[in-house]
Structure 1
Amino acid sequence: AVKKAKREARDSSENNFIPRARAVKFLQISPGEFRKLCILKGIFPRMPPRQYAGLQSYYFKKDITQLARDPVTATLRQLHTYKKKHQKFTYLKDKHSLKFLELSKPDYDLQRLVAERYPTPDAAIADVDDCLCLLSLFAQFSSEHSQLSEKCATLMNQFLVYVAATQSLRKCFISTKGFYFQAIINNQLVTWSEPHRFNLQIPQEVEMEVLKTFVEFYLEMLKAIMVYLYQQIQLQFPLQITDFQQSVHEIQQHLKQFNFKQTALQQTVFKNQIYKLNREVPQQLSFLVLCGGAQLGDNCTHLLTDRKVQKPPGVDVVQPQFCFDSFNLGVLLPVYEYEPEQQLPPHLSPFQFDFTQDQQKDEIGYIPERLTQLVNYYKQFVLQVKPEVVVMAEEAYKKERELLGVQVQLPDNDKEAESSAEEVKTNFDYEPKIKKDLEMDPELRMQKGMLSGRKRKVYEKLVEKEDELKTLRKQLMQKRRENRKEAVEK
């Protein structure tokens, strides 16, 4: 009966899952091309109930059979032969053949891949966070990847212009890793980060070819999203952006015909103000200031700087943190706390705290003193001076919560994976054994994976015997203690 159950479990694993090496051989492509194909098609490794081919990655057989019929697989094979011919003609210095070969270079359709993975625009917007983070990172790369970084920078500018013009930004935060932003786009929460602008040195451990494949797909994905968003406001994509502020104002003038209403405090926090950025201040602040309803210019009301400068008459000189804290609270904070060469107050994260409610603790149970100050200031200034603004903001907040409560379900194979895994588990369950292997030391697991099947079975039996001996010793020691206690009591 045990042999039959083991055979059923092995058969069910082999029928539903296929190891990576066998999948590469079946598709007749190289391992690098297989990895690229999986990234473009959104196929991920799965955990089978029994690792019948050793410790390696497994995939659904159904996914691999679909890849075999996919036109992208055929295109990757053609690209492989194209590269070989290109190397050959380059070595022979045959310019005439190279010219004709480059004209017939095969290419795959990324628009079709985006449409397959995200059938609706809402599904794409719900999964755009990683896309924005990676594109903003590549937009700051050096001349080694100049063409790719230019594409990423122009597309990110188009996205930031849309967010600033529609004033969709709701939260912002500065950290050592960079700037974090959160916006509401098409009733979906979108969170992304932008790194600080330094000379980035790429570590040798990072595989740039893998990241380039992701960027290649994400560029087409963000283009499709931006076309949809610009069509909603009856504008043609892409916009010709010469000046960031001018493009934002042009879109805002265009949005007036749609009765575009301001429903959040963050949209009017910098209204009727003009800001000027000193040269050492990060350029992300121009995006933040425009999202708050302000303008950029020389005849300014606020000068943003990180160092001590001579104060012009009638101008408030503040540090950049003033804009972030004021925007998150929805109210302009006192200027004297943010003057140059002044010790700045703690910068609290809006992703962790709500500045309109009392008695909020962090993970340790500590209530920051700065949080109580911000809550008190919000109550004193906003509730007393601008009660109508609070009512409007609360109504908008409720609407946003209702809209954001409806989450978009991404078209993924996770449900199919769970259902098929459950069907396999009904035959025979080896999950605890797999968990035990995963909890093992990585070096021991690698050594165990290098053993043959026969030697691995012998090793597992020895380990089981050692475990049994340990449990027996513990039981005997416990019995001895109990006997001693009984003897002492008598």
Structure 2
Amino acid sequence: MRRPKKYEAGEATQYISRRAALRKLQLSLNDFRRLCILKGVYPREPKHRRRAQKGSSDIKILYHAKDIRFLLHEPIVWTLRDYKIFAKKSGRDRAIKDFRNLKRRLAMFPEIKLDHIVKERYPTFIDALKDLDDCLTLLFLFSTFPSLHLIPREQSNLCRRLTIEFLHYVIASKSLRKVFISIKGYYFQAEIKGQKVTWIVPHYYPFKPQSRQEVDFKVMSIFVEFYTIMLGFTNFRLYHGLNLAYPPQFPSNMLQDNADTLKDESSFVSDRITALNFELLRTDKVQEDEEEPDIDMELLEQDGDSKRIIKMKQEAQEVSRLRNLFKGLKFFINREVPREPLVVIIRSFGGKVSWDSSVFSGATYDENDETITHQIVDRPSLSTQYISRDYIQPQWIFDCVNQRQLLPTNKYFLGESLPPHLSPFVDAKRDTYIPPEEKALHDPSLIETHAQSDDESEDDAAAEDEDTVEQELLDAQLQRAYQQETAEYKKYGGADGVNEDEEDSDEEDFDGDEQESDDDDEEEELDEKEKRLLEEKQKMSVQSGKVHKVNKRQVHKAEVDEHRLQARMVKPRHRNLFRKLIREKQAKEKEEWLLRKKRRTIETDAKEAKKLAKREARKAAAAAAAAAAQLGAK
């Protein structure tokens, strides 16, 4: 048997460089990158790079040789080669000005079919739902783009239509669970077929052109090309699961791009929001009840009242209440408020929403409707207000959804300083810094009270005065009790002395030694009584507390010594892991310290600003009173 040569077996044969892969597939770099994105093939990092690169020390891009052999049998490879042939022949026809032949070739333009790739990468429907996060985030981003060199308007229109269809499914199925406002955009999380799907809807800003060095739109466009096919299949399956007609039929004036719409980006976005406030057609022609049927828990009764079953029942009850959170409420959105996320949220939980029909199309009722219960406003004041409705800020909608209940609206009125907007996507039992407001949600007894104004400081001073008065009264009572005890002691001691004199006069027959021993015993008894009274006096007396000062240097030194002992006990083969754990712990402690410091700074600044505002108000009031007094004197 022939002995294998070096690099003919093992790790050297498992990896292949990108250049070798290009030669093997006979594709250009752009076509190879496109093929890898569509098929889900990505570079790999070997354990031993020198062995994988057959002794070379250069850093190369490596792929699994099995993945490259897998790409050899892909039909898209032939389509990409047809693209190359088409480009050469059409270029030749254009050069010799054979426009008749060029028109014929353009009619036979090769098209890539991605249906089989979607089915290959996602064998089951649940697999597609698990990978829906990045798909939705990227398509929502591209749905806001104008027409660019590498992003045609047809692609952004397709992204817009697919995302609207998905949002309509979320509204119809009431599967939305969590929402959050961030700098990046609006976070949404829906529960579809038992899978949690999270995506971001970006804030709408006028598009600013980006240089090619910052963003590679060509690579992103390839991802979008695959994700549009994937989301189309997913929407089709989801709609048929709810007996909804697919594709949904919108009115003729919606999602129809013309010259005016393409020029005006605000109307381009307005059409998308208008479509969200439109009811979809059903295939069964029956409007089913919006409430979800009760979950049948009889199959789970075998385990009895176990903690798992109880938790599942509670979660099912909370979800059923959450699905109808805004049922029976009518909302009106002012023109300055972003409408798209609010329309999705309100309609997903059973509410009705509208806006000013003179500014945006798609409104269902006007502002003067008396049945409106809440008006969402994002400005400090309004000229005209109705008594029959609550004027709230947009954060109230998000906080109600995250806490799964209708919150009081007094903290969200016009001009009010809003409470902190807490993220629902963090773990409540994490080891890092937790804000006091988040602690108060889980345990109301942990609410921190801070002196935020001069009134609170005055109240504290008054409370301290009351404490001092109570302490003085307690000292006086203790002093009177001590005086009574001493008086009784003196009386009791004098009576004992008289009895002793009488006994000495009557009992003269006792020997001298016996009398001396009796006197010593009585003195010892008196000493014991005095000791007991002194101890009781010390217990009853009020003593000033002693402050126990902690030496931080000694505590830190003890921690360092303990850490060194732990480090010595670690085995040499585990030292790198131990150091990594220590670095992670230090990073968490530093992050927590920075957050606490930031919180203290914010609270201090707010306190100072409030005090300054109160002082200015007092000065203004004093000046007004002085001016009024001068006018009265005149």
TM-score (norm 2): 0.55
Q: Distance in 2 between matches of 1:259 and 1:287?
A: 18
Which residue pairs with 2:276 in the alignment?
244
Match of 1:279, SS state, is: coil
1:100 to 95, 99, 104: 104
Cα distance change, pair 253–181 in 1 and its aligned pair in 2 (3 A):
farther
Match of 2:375, SS state, is: strand
1:171 Cα deviation from its structure 2 partner: 0.3
Paired residues of 2:173 and 2:242 also in contact (CA < 8 A): no
- Aligned 1:386-425 pairs, distance under 5 A: none
- The answer on 1:163 being equivalent to 2:173 is no
CA RMSD in angstroms comes to 2.6
1:79 to 71, 79, 83: 83
- One-letter amino acid of the counterpart of residue 30, structure 1: S
- Aligned 1:435-474 pairs, distance under 5 A: none
Q: Distance in 2 between matches of 1:232 and 1:99?
A: 44
2:242 to 219, 233, 236: 233
Paired residues of 2:16 and 2:64 also in contact (CA < 8 A): yes
2:423 to 349, 360, 379: 349
The more displaced of 249-258 and 81-90 is: 249-258
Which residue pairs with 2:346 in the alignment?
289
Cα distance change, pair 171–251 in 1 and its aligned pair in 2 (3 A):
farther
- The answer on 1:136 being equivalent to 2:134 is no
Paired residues of 2:143 and 2:156 also in contact (CA < 8 A): yes
Q: Distance in 2 between matches of 1:165 and 1:73?
A: 41
Q: Which has the higher contact order (CA 8 A, sep 6+)?
A: 1
- Aligned 1:17-96 pairs, distance under 5 A: 17-51=15-49, 52=53, 53=56, 54-96=58-100
Which residue pairs with 2:226 in the alignment?
217
Match of 1:345, SS state, is: coil
Match of 1:64, SS state, is: helix
Unaligned runs of 5+ in 1: 355-359, 378-431, 433-490
- One-letter amino acid of the counterpart of residue 304, structure 1: I
Match of 1:215, SS state, is: helix
- One-letter amino acid of the counterpart of residue 143, structure 1: S
1:253 Cα deviation from its structure 2 partner: 8.3
Match of 1:247, SS state, is: coil
2:392 to 287, 301, 318: 318
- One-letter amino acid of the counterpart of residue 147, structure 1: E
2:124 to 95, 107, 120: 120
Paired residues of 1:305 and 1:340 also in contact (CA < 8 A): yes
- One-letter amino acid of the counterpart of residue 39, structure 2: K
Q: Distance in 2 between matches of 1:323 and 1:259?
A: 21
Cα distance change, pair 353–49 in 1 and its aligned pair in 2 (3 A):
closer
Paired residues of 1:40 and 1:113 also in contact (CA < 8 A): yes
1:336 Cα deviation from its structure 2 partner: 1.6
Cα distance change, pair 294–368 in 1 and its aligned pair in 2 (3 A):
same
Cα distance change, pair 374–258 in 1 and its aligned pair in 2 (3 A):
closer
Match of 2:156, SS state, is: helix
Paired residues of 1:302 and 1:315 also in contact (CA < 8 A): yes
Q: Distance in 2 between matches of 1:45 and 1:160?
A: 35
1:238 Cα deviation from its structure 2 partner: 0.9
1:259 Cα deviation from its structure 2 partner: 7.8
Which residue pairs with 1:193 in the alignment?
200
Offset from partner CA, 1:295-316 (integer Å, 9 cap, x none): 1133321111211223223111
Match of 2:115, SS state, is: helix
Paired residues of 1:165 and 1:249 also in contact (CA < 8 A): no
1:208 Cα deviation from its structure 2 partner: 1.0
1:251 Cα deviation from its structure 2 partner: 9.0
Offset from partner CA, 1:145-181 (integer Å, 9 cap, x none): 3211110011000000000111000000000110001
Q: Distance in 1 between matches of 2:334 and 2:175?
A: 26
- One-letter amino acid of the counterpart of residue 224, structure 2: V
1:363 to 432, 437, 440: 432
The more displaced of 254-263 and 127-136 is: 254-263
Which residue pairs with 2:158 in the alignment?
151
Offset from partner CA, 1:117-168 (integer Å, 9 cap, x none): 1111111111110000000000000132321111001100000000011100
Q: Distance in 1 between matches of 2:374 and 2:94?
A: 59
Cα distance change, pair 17–131 in 1 and its aligned pair in 2 (3 A):
same
1:62 Cα deviation from its structure 2 partner: 1.5
Paired residues of 2:140 and 2:163 also in contact (CA < 8 A): yes
- The answer on 1:305 being equivalent to 2:377 is yes
Match of 1:105, SS state, is: coil
Q: Distance in 2 between matches of 1:341 and 1:92?
A: 71
Q: Kindly, what percent of the aligned residue pairs are identical?
A: 36
Which residue pairs with 2:546 in the alignment?
none
Q: Distance in 2 between matches of 1:345 and 1:251?
A: 45
Q: Distance in 2 between matches of 1:346 and 1:252?
A: 45
Match of 1:173, SS state, is: strand
1:281 Cα deviation from its structure 2 partner: 1.4
Match of 1:256, SS state, is: coil
Q: Distance in 2 between matches of 1:312 and 1:26?
A: 74
1:231 Cα deviation from its structure 2 partner: 1.9
1:353 Cα deviation from its structure 2 partner: 5.0
- The answer on 1:275 being equivalent to 2:344 is no
TM-score (norm 1): 0.70
1:56 Cα deviation from its structure 2 partner: 1.4
- One-letter amino acid of the counterpart of residue 113, structure 2: D
Match of 1:246, SS state, is: coil
Cα distance change, pair 277–326 in 1 and its aligned pair in 2 (3 A):
same
1:90 Cα deviation from its structure 2 partner: 3.8
Unaligned runs of 5+ in 2: 252-274, 295-315, 355-365, 446-575, 577-634
Cα distance change, pair 275–91 in 1 and its aligned pair in 2 (3 A):
farther
- One-letter amino acid of the counterpart of residue 426, structure 2: Q
Paired residues of 1:303 and 1:318 also in contact (CA < 8 A): yes
- Find the structure with the greater CA-based Rg: 2
Q: Distance in 2 between matches of 1:286 and 1:258?
A: 17
Q: Distance in 1 between matches of 2:341 and 2:187?
A: 10
- One-letter amino acid of the counterpart of residue 56, structure 1: K
